[in-house]
Chain A
Amino acid sequence: MNKNKIQKWVLTIIVLSITLLAAVLAGLAIGSTKIPFTSIPDILLNAQGTAEYSILMGIRLPRTLLAIAVGGSLGLAGTLLQGMFRNPLVEPYTLGISGGASLGVCLTIVFSLHTKIGIIAYPMSGFAGAGLVIFMVYTLSIKGGALKPNTMLLTGVMISFVASSLVMLLMAISKSDDLHNIVFWIMGSLDEPNLLLIKIVCYGSIIGLIISLFFCHNLNALALGDEQATLLGIDTAKTKKTLFVIASLLTGLSVSVAGIIMFVGLIIPHFMRMVIGSDHRILMISSFLGGASFLIICDIFARTIISPLELPVGVITGIIGGVVFIYILGQKQVRL
């Protein structure tokens, strides 16, 4: 392999890892109670039972771990979907996958499925909703055996609207307790007290990354189009089906625990592609690390802008993502 390329990739991973580490430290240090960076290791190792230790271990560390898993998952899901559809505007939110997952979770809240099958009901319903939407978008976007990207994007947006309307319908007919839960959850927050759910999302994101890496060459070939990829020996149908399932799993898990966090899957892959190129071997890893850092930083802003009150993190990512979306739309390379 080209030595320059290896050096560039290693350097990218080192820079992104340092950025992530810095973001993690900032996430642990910054908040209503400020904890100096330098004393974090000492508190974690030697100060069990103190208030600072409880804040770090009980609130900030789980929240930061969740931000890593959710940001990484959404960045990776966006990379997979953009690679498959060869369209930089595609991401879990614009394709309606987030909407489908949120509908699944709302149904779980309204019908109290979590009381019957346990806390696992949230990620399961999120995954089911995401999977159903991606299946519908894919099926409805195929005309004459070929996938129509513009139809796909518009179908995704429409399904997203339908899912939002159904969520509102559920809110209208639900009890006040459920309504409160749905509203709180929809706004998107990384404040999740359940450690099992955080563990599930963390494991899910890492497994998703590892499986996705097996398909990096297939995604590189798909950049030439389905026909050319087939001519390079790639089973395009099998590749797409597998990656759809992975993207649905990553999005479903993220949405079920953290609510709707918009545009991470749009901004991060786009930015990483500009920096490191479109080779999916490095792009997937970069998008995961970049997405994780980005969401931790957005969460810090969400927690501190109007402190002691807290903004939903989805508001921050939505504002940044919306601006980036309009910018990408204005670029020459975007062809719907």
Chain B
Amino acid sequence: MKNKIVLEVNNLTCKYSAENILQNINLTVSKGEMVSILGTNGSGKTTLLKTISNVIKPEKGEILIQGENIRNIPLKELSTKTAVVMQSLNAAHMTVEEYVLLGRLPYFKKFQFFESQKDVDLVHKFLKLTNTIQLKDMLFNEISGGEKQLVSIARALAQEPVLLLLDEPTSHLDISHQAQILNLISLMKDKFGIAVLIVLHDINLASEYSDTLVFINKANKEIHAKGAPEKIITKKLIQEVYNTDVYIEKNPVSFKPFVFLSKKMNAPITSREV
């Protein structure tokens, strides 16, 4: 089992400005596993993702990818192992094809000027897989938000990573794009064995698609609960992490836990205070 672990985070403490955002974080993501990070706004989910992707230096602890500390992996090599899809997606005056081709940069040799035929083939393969090949000649900044997310996933896949990190890829998207993106990610982990660590806000989407959930508690800055959705999603857990009363049932199709929110169960803050 140990050799299947792609990402291992040990005793990690992350700092943002002068304050500790997260502490004592321990988690693993195995080959073909999808782990979702959940928690309230400002609980440090994105900070954790940025620390794991080497954008933010950790205060303490270690991050291992395929058993090797990321501090010891050269930047270029690291980007052949890890690919990240961030929340804000920019690409000045660049076509979709050019954007996805950037995912092949880590494989370019030192003085390589032109992309190889293999690079072009892979770009087209992932554009087809994400169902965005028809957009290839359009400007990235002119496609819709959902299409941008799909194209960004294609760019990340072009890096041929063993670990895919995604920061709220379904936020602000309609239900059709949410399903399209999460089905695609599921396909990636199942078909290519990619380990996926994803930040999500929607507990039900996380429950439906993830193998493991990690709830971060903003109050003590630590992991509050970790495990399979069926095992850890309880009314008590949601109350402790989100300070919100919910009703939990099983999804009649997948039998995964489904969280219901009712306005009758949660009075407005003002009336509670009154």
Q: A residues within 8 Å of B by Cβ?
A: 1-2, 86, 144, 213-214, 216-217, 220-221, 223-225, 227-228, 230-235, 273, 277-279, 281, 333
Determine if B113 and A224 form an interchain contact, defined as CB atoms under 8 angstroms apart.
Answer: no
| In-complex Cβ contact of B102 among A220, A227, A277 (8 A) | A220
Chain A residues whose C-beta falls within 8 Å of the C-beta of B141 in the assembled complex: 333
26 contacts between A and B (CB under 8 A): A1-B117, A1-B120, A213-B113, A216-B113, A217-B108, A220-B102, A220-B105, A223-B92, A224-B99, A227-B55, A227-B86, A230-B54, A230-B55, A231-B55, A231-B79, A231-B82, A231-B83, A231-B84, A232-B103, A232-B106, A233-B78, A233-B106, A273-B93, A278-B92, A278-B93, A278-B98
The answer for the CA separation of A235 and B102 in the assembled complex, in Å, is 15
Query: Known contacts A221-B105, A233-B76; is A281 also within 8 Å of B53 by CB?
Result: no
Chain B residues whose C-beta falls within 8 Å of the C-beta of A227 in the assembled complex: 50, 55, 86
- Counting CB contacts under 8 A, is B75 at the interface? yes
Determine the interface band of chain B, counting residues with CB < 8 A from chain A: 35 or more
Closest A residue to B76 by CB, please name it: A233
- Counting CB contacts under 8 A, is B95 at the interface? yes
Determine if B55 and A277 form an interchain contact, defined as CB atoms under 8 angstroms apart.
Answer: no
Chain B residues whose C-beta falls within 8 Å of the C-beta of A273 in the assembled complex: 93
Chain B residues whose C-beta falls within 8 Å of the C-beta of A2 in the assembled complex: 97, 120
Whole-angstrom distance between the Cβ of B249 and the nearest chain A Cβ: 39
- Counting CB contacts under 8 A, is B260 at the interface? no
| In-complex Cβ contact of B90 among A225, A231, A277 (8 A) | A225
Chain A residues whose C-beta falls within 8 Å of the C-beta of B202 in the assembled complex: none
The answer for the CA separation of A234 and B54 in the assembled complex, in Å, is 12
- Counting CB contacts under 8 A, is B94 at the interface? yes
The answer for the CA separation of A220 and B104 in the assembled complex, in Å, is 12
Determine if B113 and A233 form an interchain contact, defined as CB atoms under 8 angstroms apart.
Answer: no
Query: What mask results when residues 71 to 88 of chain B are scored 1 for a CB within 8 Å of chain A, else 0?
Result: 000011111101110101
Query: Known contacts A227-B55, A232-B102, A233-B75; is A1 also within 8 Å of B114 by CB?
Result: yes
The answer for the CA separation of A223 and B98 in the assembled complex, in Å, is 11
The answer for the CA separation of A234 and B141 in the assembled complex, in Å, is 22
The answer for the CA separation of A230 and B56 in the assembled complex, in Å, is 11
Determine if A86 and B92 form an interchain contact, defined as CB atoms under 8 angstroms apart.
Answer: yes
Whole-angstrom distance between the Cβ of A143 and the nearest chain B Cβ: 12
A-B contact sample (15 more), CB < 8 A, given A233-B77, A278-B94: A86-B92, A224-B90, A224-B91, A227-B86, A228-B84, A230-B54, A231-B54, A231-B82, A232-B103, A232-B159, A233-B75, A233-B78, A233-B80, A278-B98, A333-B92
- Counting CB contacts under 8 A, is B111 at the interface? yes
Chain B residues whose C-beta falls within 8 Å of the C-beta of A228 in the assembled complex: 84, 86, 90
Chain A residues whose C-beta falls within 8 Å of the C-beta of B113 in the assembled complex: 213, 216, 281
